[in-house]
Structure 1
Amino acid sequence: MIIVKVGGSEGINYDAVCDDIAQLWREGQQLIFVHGGSHRTNQVADALGHPPQFVTSPSGYTSRLTDRATLEIFQMVYCGQINKTLVERLQRRGVNAVGLSGIDGRIWQGPRKKVIKVVENGRTRVLRNNFTGKVTEVNHSFLQTLLNAGCLPVLTPPAISFDGEAINIDGDRAAAATAAAFRADELLILSNVPGVLRQFPDENSLIPQITADQIDYVSEEFAAGRMRIKLLGVQEALAAGVQRVVLGDARGEHPILRALDGQGTVIISAQPEEAA
């Protein structure tokens, strides 16, 4: 089993992603495809007069501030436009894809964080009425039923809270939770950078391999922007038994095949002969 997570930043080659998925699917490889949609969501939010806001937690992680109006825009873009466009592209390539959000069938479930702490101008403050959360349960049996029926699940946030509320969750960590639930052989997290960079944004400074025990150091010293939360998801996946994670590049041709070939930052549990 391979879990593929493709982000929603500008520059992603979705046609190439779908080409690779179709090739692997024809070869009999079981897959679950998780996607984002942040760039398009920001564009739509601006157009609707409700521009995106981002906050930083005391631990240094950046996330989208999600009130109810933002959540509805999020659902419209992620679950509607992007999800169904990807399903259409996969169907055109002969893959019987089924597009679902984490709400459907309670695929991704967890607690809602009704209160969050954020840092603004060096001061910590508390925000309420925020529709965010974390995936703590994955509906493995439902997803396995789809796979057994010859369908490819194409999954996207949001998730569902234990109280039945839609919640914005991090797609990378949701993919990690899904990989853990399936004890996946590999988790691929692809975005618009080639992996973890020693000197962001210099793409020639790629760190080719790290181990689980190096993640905290690499995150603190080198990770920029959203890469920190990706590494948190990697850490969670490896701790749950996933053997290999690749942070790779979804631009260009054959992004999934390249990641499977080890192009990107490969992160494993065992100690390699030479660490980054």
Structure 2
Amino acid sequence: MEGSRGSTVVVKFGGHAMVDAKLHRTFAADVVELWHAGLRPVVVHGGGPQISAMLDRLGLETRFEAGLRVTTAETMEVVRMVLTGRVQRELVGHINAHGPYAVGMTGEDAHTMTAVRRPAWVDGRPVDIGLVGDVVDVNPGMVRTLLERGHIPVVSPVARGADGQIYNVNADLAASALAVALDAERLVMLTDVAGLYANWPHSTEVIRHLTADALDELLPGLASGMLPKMEGCLRAVRGGVRGAHVLDGRVPHAVLRGALGETGDGTTVVPDHSAAASHR
């Protein structure tokens, strides 16, 4: 499954690579390299550590339930400010150090992403996590236009509700929804672990390949931090994406190898009909 010229690759940028200046610049250079290789990269970025740091500076609480940030109206203002005003700007700047490629936008722009309030479940009970949204509709027209004009869209995971409410969307799930809407060939998620562990926390053996059905069976038992990532991978391959990869973003050039299909690292999720799939 190699990256083919003209195909769209959605990359979720997050984890340690976002706060390590050297890895940040390397990632930006790699995205430009993908563009030069004839692929059409789209970047969806997170910003958890930066948001938490700003909330701490402002004396506001940081709390997570089921792997998702509890988002009050006050927290939402900080999320929006940090994601679009700082994190996105830094990433666009690093990419554009190589030429006039990157254009920043959010899921709000041109109604690209529409979200509804997302419930969280803890021990079988619903938990109110505030203004956290689940993407229910994607209008990829603006992103497609940017790609067709030779740009690299850099998207902040903030979405608008049909009622005008603005929601904080998990970046993994936003990247997944965008990958499906764009008919992307692959989804690459960068994180801070080597992949999906077979028996965490008792083992660090990584599951290299698994099908959508196999992942569906594992999902309820996953640690909260991996849950949105693997849920995003599952939604992507069931929505038509040919492959979803979870890779260690602390490894330089991981995105380059992952997007080009040149890596045996991390965890790859494939559709159930893929003959290449095996559980390990």
Identify whether the pair has TM-score above 0.5, normalized to the shorter chain: yes
1:1-276 matches, within 5 Å, as 1-9=8-16, 13-55=23-65, 61-113=66-118, 116=119, 119=122, 124=125, 127=128, 130-200=130-200, 204-221=204-221, 223-259=222-258, 260-262=261-263, 263-269=265-271, 270-272=274-276, 274-276=278-280
CA distance in 2, matches of 1:123, 1:145: 43
Offset at residue 132 of structure 1 (A): 1.7
1:176: how far off?
Answer: 0.8
State the Cα deviation string for residues 205-253 of structure 1 (Å, max 9, x = none): 11111111100233345x3232112111111111111111111111131
Q: Distance in 1 between matches of 2:209 and 2:135?
A: 27
Q: Secondary structure at the match of 1:73?
A: helix
Which ranges in structure 2 are unaligned for 5 or more consecutive residues? 1-7
Distance change >3 Å, CA 42–CA 190, structure 1 → 2: same
CA distance in 1, matches of 2:126, 2:101: 47
**Unaligned runs of at least 5 residues, structure 1:** 56-60
Deviation at 1:112? 3.0
Match of 1:58 in 2: none
Residues 148 and 162 of structure 1: CA distance in aligned 2, closer, same or farther (over 3 Å): same
Q: Output the CA distance in 2 between the equivalents of 1:238 and 1:138.
A: 16
Q: What is the CA distance between 1:88 and its match in structure 2?
A: 0.2
The answer on whether the counterparts of 2:209 and 2:277 sit within 8 Å (CA) in structure 1 is no
Query: Residues 132-185 of structure 1, C-alpha deviation per residue, up to 9 Å, x if partnerless?
Result: 211111121111111122211100111111111210111111111111111111
Q: Distance in 2 between matches of 1:133 and 1:161?
A: 8
Q: Is the 8 A contact 2:64 2:70 kept in 1?
A: yes
**Alpha-carbon deviations, 1:53-87, whole Å to 9, x = none?**
112xxxxx321111111001111111111100000
SS of residue matched to 2:128: strand
Cα 1:118–1:242 change in 2 (3 A) is closer
Q: Is the 8 A contact 1:33 1:155 kept in 2?
A: yes
Aligned CA RMSD, in angstroms, stands at 2.2
Structure 1 pair 82/214, CA: closer, same or farther in 2 (3 Å)? same
SS at match of 1:205: coil
229 and 148 in structure 1: CA distance in 2 versus 1, 3 angstrom threshold: same
Change (3 A) 1:242 1:125: closer
CA distance in 2, matches of 1:100, 1:117: 27
Using the size of structure 1 for normalisation, the TM-score is 0.88
- The verdict on how the C-alpha distance between 1:147 and 1:171 changes in structure 2, with shifts beyond 3 A counting, is same
Is contact 1:211-1:271 (8 Å) kept? no
| SS of the residue 1:167 aligns to | strand
Report the CA distance between 1:197 and its aligned residue: 1.2
Say which SS state the counterpart of residue 135 (structure 1) adopts: strand
Q: Work out the CA distance in 2 between the residues paired with 1:273 and 1:140.
A: 30
